[in-house]
Structure 1
Amino acid sequence: MKHLLFIIVSMLIVGCSASNPYNDEKMYDLASQFKDLSQTVDGAIKFGEVTVETGQQALERVSVEQPDKVAPFAEYVIKVELQGDNAVLLLCDDNIALIEDAGCNAVLDKVYWQVLNPNSCVITLDSHQLCK
């Protein structure tokens, strides 16, 4: 009976840990750095000396000028979308959205790593509503 209880508890622990491969502590730290990156990219668009045409160009400029801001995300996909003069960034692990943020405000806008959805690496935020 003790062995059966041990097996059931072990399976529950493994099942729960396998359902979300992202450690909350690590991801909250990454989210803080991502918020900083989104504000930096947004600032490069609004106040940079060189005009950028796309969000990807703004991210590339930040990568060259401040590589430490982008370094923590080397193993991830970063999507950037310009919405007017605002930047919206999305961090993905392959095709799974993890964090989404508009760089114009002081809050982290969306956290997705706690409920993972395949094929969700698509920007959904509307900066016109968030950046007033």
Structure 2
Amino acid sequence: MKPLLIMAGTAVALFSACSSPPPESVSIQQSAIMQPLSEQVHQLSTRITNDLHFANHDELTQEMLLQTALRDHPAARQAFEPYTLLLDVQETNAVILVCEDNHALLEDAGCNKNFDRHHWQSIPLPTCEFTLNTLDLCE
């Protein structure tokens, strides 16, 4: 499957919004936002990976996977509102990428217990592109 871009106005109700330019340095304020958001991203990628393992994912679109994973989690839906949320399904594993202004902020594969990439700590911020390969990360 190709990566899916979900933006405002879709049935999933995830949003891409205008925001300030990318930061030049990591601040305490950014950390206070990104650390809890990374927990939400990890939970989301894990939920979708579990769905992929226990469902016939050939019949599920990536949009359906996101809808299902966020349906009962209004706090997560709200947390992602200011960002662009992308899903990449690699075999039976989900990778979630959170971006802002075409810059990657967070990226996580749901197949392991650790959070994978805090792109927001990089200077300069990388572009909004998937970097994780679940063949390297997942057992």
Using the size of structure 1 for normalisation, the TM-score is: 0.74
Partner of 1:19: 24
| 2:63 aligned counterpart, secondary structure | helix
Question: Aligned pair in 2 of structure 1 residues 38, 87: CA closer, same or farther (>3 Å)?
Answer: same
Q: Compare CA radii of gyration and give the structure with the larger one.
A: 1
2:54 counterpart of 1:57: no
- Greater relative CO (CA pairs within 8 A, separation 6+): 2
Contact 2:104-2:120 at 8 Å conserved across structures: yes
Partner of 2:115: 108
Partner of 1:13: none
Question: Aligned pair in 2 of structure 1 residues 110, 118: CA closer, same or farther (>3 Å)?
Answer: closer
Task: Show structure 2 runs of 5+ residues with no match.
Answer: 1-22
Separation (CA, whole Å) in 2 of partners of 1:60 and 1:116: 33
Separation (CA, whole Å) in 1 of partners of 2:92 and 2:113: 17
Contact 1:81-1:88 at 8 Å conserved across structures: yes
Identity %: 30
Residue from 31, 34, 51 that aligns with 1:44 = 51
Structure with greater proportional helix content: 1
Partner of 1:7: none
Partner of 2:39: 32
| 1:91 aligned counterpart, secondary structure | strand
Separation (CA, whole Å) in 2 of partners of 1:112 and 1:74: 19
| 2:99 aligned counterpart, secondary structure | strand
Separation (CA, whole Å) in 1 of partners of 2:45 and 2:62: 11
Q: Compute the RMSD of aligned alpha carbons.
A: 2.4
Question: Aligned pair in 2 of structure 1 residues 69, 45: CA closer, same or farther (>3 Å)?
Answer: farther
